[in-house]
Structure 1
Amino acid sequence: MELVDNYGRVLRDLRISVTPRCNYHCVYCHPLGMEMSDPPGTVTTRDVVHFLRAAARLGMSAVRFTGGEPLVRRELPEMIAAAAATPGVDDVAITTNGTLFRRRHKELLGAGLRRVNFSLDAVDPEVFRRLTRGGEVAQVWDAIELALELELHPVKLNAVVIGGVNDGEVVRLAELSVDRPLHVRFIEYMHLNNAPFDEYRRQFVAGAETRARIEERFGPLEEVPTDPSSPARVWRIAGAQGTVGFINSVSEPFCSNCSRLRLTSDKKIRPCLLTELELDIAWAFDAPDPEAALVEALLAAAGKKPEKGSTLPTLRERVMLGIGG
């Protein structure tokens, strides 16, 4: 059975936010002064088990755990184990800033983790520190080196490009893909942090501009065939071991091929990242038969998934930190 929305898109990919907490304060995700904690009713391991079984019954096969920073959640290995043990789920990954990866990697791998996406928005320590408001790039790079050593391929690096902040880093970031099997993804800055509109427009950098900078340094990029439902269009620097990709959510929306649903840490399904639409499904987790109720909730969410989201700057009820990556 497939989960299909009203526009014929097959929904296969889940993003599950396990916490809104994070030990970084990245400018594009975490408004200054905002601190979040796990509220009463935060999704539990038992909830994740029921949700994944329901999703798998509908053909959803890939799950990525996000946050906040998912590794601050003590129960994350149990949730990963639940995903790995769910029949039909064949891709279990996390998106992390990497700060706790070395400390927790053994329990994560033992639980069944097979893939990691790291947030790495700069190579230069000072630029990285400014963008994350205090982070140490050496700590993240140590986690990336460990993931390569553990052969958790593909190791993906996510970089949100912000004009006047880290746009001067794109060539150095792309260069990481040359000698190592690293897959660097350049993500357009989305207005999901409620930044002042004029400031956001001034700092937005189109993916085409980022690509042009890279090609100016390395020459024409070679296209790599990619699943159309993937948000990234992927290319390779000539002779490189890894790839560079461009997630141009604002300048080149890929809504027509979107295959994702998001579960927030407070038990709401978000059918589209770039709308305010959320379905509170706490009732389903508390139902006498949670899996049947969650199947019903997922079908309702698919039916409400909009044709496209809004990439225009707008004041949002929830910022990225609360939604989940």
Structure 2
Amino acid sequence: MSLDTRKFEVLRISILSLCNFACVYCAPKEKDNLSSSNAYKQFLSPSLLDQNLKQLIPHIQIKEVHLTGGEPTLHQNLIQLIEIVKQHSIDEIAITSNGNFESGLVTKMKEAGLTRMNFSLDSMSQSGFQKLSDRNKPVSQILEQISEAKSIGLEVKINSTILRGFNESEILDLLEWSGKRSIPIRFLEFMKMGPLHKEHPMYFYSAEEIRNQISKKYKFLKHPTASDSTAEYYITDEGYIFGLIANHTEPFCEGCNRLRMDSKGRIYGCLSDETSFEIPNSYEDVQSTLHQAMLTKKKKFTGSELSMKFIGG
């Protein structure tokens, strides 16, 4: 697909850069009390979100808004942000969370207009979970939040980033747990971004290795996959659905329809490009800015030293 025919259709918004975990692939050197640093005090305000959506909607048909972070459930105005997106007649509103939030929040988000939750779950074991997240939180609590989201009717997916030496031995456990609950799981290749940018080869575990490991226990076939999907989906004979997001070995950049916004309200056209743009006020200038953002898109994922939590993945 050429840049001339490609359109922005999905808006991913990093509503804050703060997170209550310090996962090895995102923020391995960060410990407790992250809020003490000014670098982590940037929250997207409801008024700025509303203003930016008003500026963007006349130019692009947004079919989905996806709220990310950092950890978006830490945003004190999260429910209001979801309500604002809903007010702009956007039908699909998703959020990606690590699942470490207060009981009952899932229901509040759904009532505000949320339609889907993606949970980051990289390990089923308590020791593996602690090693990856650098936090002593009960993994059982995250599993309960996933089950609750499923039970109240939200569309639910699980994202598992696989790192060599950390959790490649848990792929089958993750697949079985999610499959038995009819929850699709996506296994992600570790992306060359953020603090471990230079050490990427040391921890990289490919989609082909993941497929090979699954094939030792399960028979599976390709499953229908949307043309703009970041994942290639499969289904096992047992009906377990899993996807592979292989930015490095099986790139999908040429079909990318995503526009990203950070917690300062600036937009990015490509995950592999740190160039950002302020959304201008005039109609003509917005159109020009979106064109410039589209031009930053790469034909292949190249990575970035920018941490995922600042741009929302």
Structure 1-normalised TM-score? 0.87
Instruction: Pick the aligned partner of 2:30 from 29, 33, 44.
Output: 33
**Distance between the aligned counterparts of 2:260 and 2:38, measured in 1?**
19
**Distance between the aligned counterparts of 1:47 and 1:294, measured in 2?**
18
Q: Secondary structure at the match of 2:194?
A: coil
The equivalent of 2:133 in structure 1 is 132
Using a 3 Å threshold, how does the CA distance of structure 1 residues 293 and 139 change in structure 2: closer, same or farther? farther
Aligned residue pairs total 307
Asked if residue 322 in structure 1 is aligned to residue 313 in structure 2, the reply is: no
Work out whether residues 5 and 305 of structure 1, in 8 Å CA contact, stay in contact via their aligned partners in 2.
Answer: no
**After the TM superposition, which residues 112-261 of structure 1 pair with which residues of structure 2 at under 5 Å, given as runs?**
112-134=113-135, 135-153=137-155, 155-195=156-196, 197=198, 199-219=199-219, 221-240=220-239, 242-261=240-259
Kindly provide the CA deviation profile for residues 157-184 of structure 1, in whole angstroms up to 9, marking residues without a partner as x: 0000000001111111111243211010
Q: Secondary structure at the match of 1:43?
A: coil
Using a 3 Å threshold, how does the CA distance of structure 1 residues 293 and 8 change in structure 2: closer, same or farther? closer
Work out whether residues 269 and 301 of structure 1, in 8 Å CA contact, stay in contact via their aligned partners in 2.
Answer: no
Q: CA RMSD in A?
A: 2.3
**Distance between the aligned counterparts of 1:108 and 1:5, measured in 2?**
37
Query: Identity over aligned residues, as a percent?
Result: 30
The equivalent of 1:44 in structure 2 is 45
Report the alpha carbon displacement of residue 298 of structure 1 after superposing the two structures with TM.
Answer: 5.1
Work out whether residues 43 and 75 of structure 2, in 8 Å CA contact, stay in contact via their aligned partners in 1.
Answer: no
Q: Secondary structure at the match of 2:142?
A: helix
Instruction: Pick the aligned partner of 1:270 from 268, 271, 275.
Output: 268
Kindly provide the CA deviation profile for residues 3-57 of structure 1, in whole angstroms up to 9, marking residues without a partner as x: x983422220010111000101111111313746576774211111122233332
The equivalent of 1:311 in structure 2 is 302
Using a 3 Å threshold, how does the CA distance of structure 1 residues 200 and 323 change in structure 2: closer, same or farther? same
**Distance between the aligned counterparts of 1:235 and 1:294, measured in 2?**
43
**Distance between the aligned counterparts of 1:5 and 1:43, measured in 2?**
32
Work out whether residues 223 and 235 of structure 1, in 8 Å CA contact, stay in contact via their aligned partners in 2.
Answer: yes
Q: Counterpart amino acid of 2:296?
A: K
Mark the runs of 5 or more structure 2 residues left unpaired by the alignment. none
Kindly provide the CA deviation profile for residues 198-234 of structure 1, in whole angstroms up to 9, marking residues without a partner as x: x421210010110110111112x12111111110001
Kindly provide the CA deviation profile for residues 219-253 of structure 1, in whole angstroms up to 9, marking residues without a partner as x: 2x12111111110001111132x410000001111
Larger mean CA deviation between 132-141 and 63-72 belongs to: 132-141
Report the alpha carbon displacement of residue 110 of structure 1 after superposing the two structures with TM.
Answer: 1.9
**Distance between the aligned counterparts of 2:40 and 2:111, measured in 1?**
28
Report the alpha carbon displacement of residue 114 of structure 1 after superposing the two structures with TM.
Answer: 1.2
Q: Secondary structure at the match of 1:81?
A: helix
Q: Counterpart amino acid of 2:81?
A: M
Work out whether residues 272 and 298 of structure 2, in 8 Å CA contact, stay in contact via their aligned partners in 1.
Answer: no
Structure 2-normalised TM-score? 0.90
Work out whether residues 22 and 30 of structure 2, in 8 Å CA contact, stay in contact via their aligned partners in 1.
Answer: no
